[in-house]
Structure 1
Amino acid sequence: MHSIFKPLTDHIVFTGDLKTDIRLFLEANQCSDTAIHCIEVGAESRIIALMYNSDPTAAETAGWLHDISAVFPSNERIDVARQLQIDVLPEEEVFPMIIHQKISRVMARDIFNINNQEILDAVGCHTTLRSNSTLLDQVLFVADKISWDQQGKPPYINELNRNLQKSITHGAFAYINFLWERKETLKVIHPWLKEAYEELKDKVRLVS
């Protein structure tokens, strides 16, 4: 485990139950709201995985883990990423919040001993998605957008749910398209999001 994680874990007695330990970890590091969000996203991921024949246990696990990097404030995340030898894109420099997906991926592996590559990859792209996304990537991406961590009802939720009835890819694209139509208002356009938009746009068009 990287030394940067030691102060976050030394005061915790882990139980060996992943769901319990993720909650303990987040609550012990003053991220109780994130703990609730992660558990909710895990539950939503399981539901969506069952709808689309994805592995429900892997999906739930990815949901529990996706935001564990919330323990690092946004203004520290670029420095944290560099210490962890994570590749930092220019867009992430401008908007550090967005690199939390990559940090969560490393934390899932190093703190919680997750070695399932598909789970790690889904955690690592849950905010932006990516090109050549897997079924699990899309399940977690959509679940996170349904169980969002803001107040009120997501402005895109009706369109997302309507498209989710067609396919998981339609559901994922509905959210990306929502952002794309408002891209002038975004702080950055992450290149992974742009690549996912271009790819899924064509896939959705072919299936529709």
Structure 2
Amino acid sequence: MHVMFQKLLQGIELTGDLKSDVSAFLTGNDCPATALHSMEVGEEARSTALRFGGDPQAAEAAGWLHDISAVFPADTRVEVARILQVEVLPEEEQFPMIIHQKLSRVMAEDIFGIRNTEILDAVGCHTTLRAGSSHLDRILFVADKIAWDQTGTPPYLDRLNAELERSLEHGAYAYLSYLWERRNTLRVIHPWLREAHGELEQALRLPVKPRCSAFVVLDLDGTLLNSRKEVSPRNAKAVLDCGHGQRYT
């Protein structure tokens, strides 16, 4: 375990019960509000997984772990990331709070012994999502936005919940779109968020209707066939040209 993390565990005994250990870790490092939020996100993630056919245990664990890097103040996170050899993007350097998702991933593995890469990956993109996101990524992303860590009701909640009635992907896209519509007011646009938004926008468009694989030609006016009941080369070409590349409408 990295020496930086060993210092955070002074006076804290890990029991192997992940929920209790995460709560004790955050509370013991002066982050009781984050501990409460993390438990709520774990519960919401489990519920979301059950609703959309995910792994409820993995989702719950990811929810508990997603904000464990809150023990590092925002203004130290870039330095911590570099010490841990975590890639720091220019947007993360400009807005250090956002790199906490990457730090939480490293801490989940090193401190709490998480080896499930799906859990680690979900923790590592829970704030921004990412292109090529997994089912668990989207579950945690949505759960974190529903069980948010601010007072009052999230301004996007009604829209997100309405889209969840359609699918998990629609729910995730609802929040991404909420941010995208306000991108000019945000301090940064994280490239993962931009890519996730574009990918889901493309995926959720109405599907393109398939090309014709076969079509039926009826000679209603008696002009297709000649006197020998044959299709002339000219007419055959005209028929094929009509069908080539067309889409159903």
TM-score category of the 2 structures, normalised to the smaller one: over 0.9
Q: Measure the CA separation in 1 of the matches of 2:199 and 2:15.
A: 42
Q: Which has the higher helix share?
A: 1
Q: How does 1:1-16 map onto structure 2 within 5 Å? A: 1-16=1-16
Q: Which has the higher contact order (CA 8 A, sep 6+)?
A: 1
Q: Measure the CA separation in 2 of the matches of 1:96 and 1:206.
A: 37
Q: How does 1:47-58 map onto structure 2 within 5 Å? A: 47-58=47-58
1:16 is displaced (CA, Å) by 1.4
The letter for the 1-side match of 2:150 is Q
Q: Measure the CA separation in 2 of the matches of 1:14 and 1:193.
A: 34
Name structure 1 gaps, 5 residues minimum.
none
2:243 is aligned to: none
Q: Measure the CA separation in 2 of the matches of 1:14 and 1:125.
A: 25
Q: What secondary structure, in the 3-state scheme, does the structure 2 residue paired with 1:61 have?
A: helix
2:180 is aligned to: 180
2:64 is aligned to: 64
Name structure 2 gaps, 5 residues minimum.
208-249
Q: Measure the CA separation in 2 of the matches of 1:204 and 1:175.
A: 14
TM-score scaled by length of structure 1? 0.98
Q: How does 1:78-93 map onto structure 2 within 5 Å? A: 78-93=78-93
Q: What secondary structure, in the 3-state scheme, does the structure 2 residue paired with 1:205 have?
A: coil
The letter for the 1-side match of 2:134 is T
How high is the sequence identity, in percent, across the aligned residues? 62
Runs of at least 4 residues off by over 3 Å: none
Q: Measure the CA separation in 2 of the matches of 1:135 and 1:144.
A: 14
* Rg (Cα) greater in structure: 2
Q: Give the RMSD, CA atoms, in angstroms.
A: 0.7
Q: Deviations over 1:63-117 (max 9, x none)?
A: 0000000000000000000001000000000000000000000000000000000
For this pair of structures, how many residues does the alignment match?
207
1:106 is aligned to: 106
The answer to whether residue 82 in structure 2 is matched with residue 120 in structure 1 is: no
Q: Measure the CA separation in 2 of the matches of 1:142 and 1:200.
A: 14
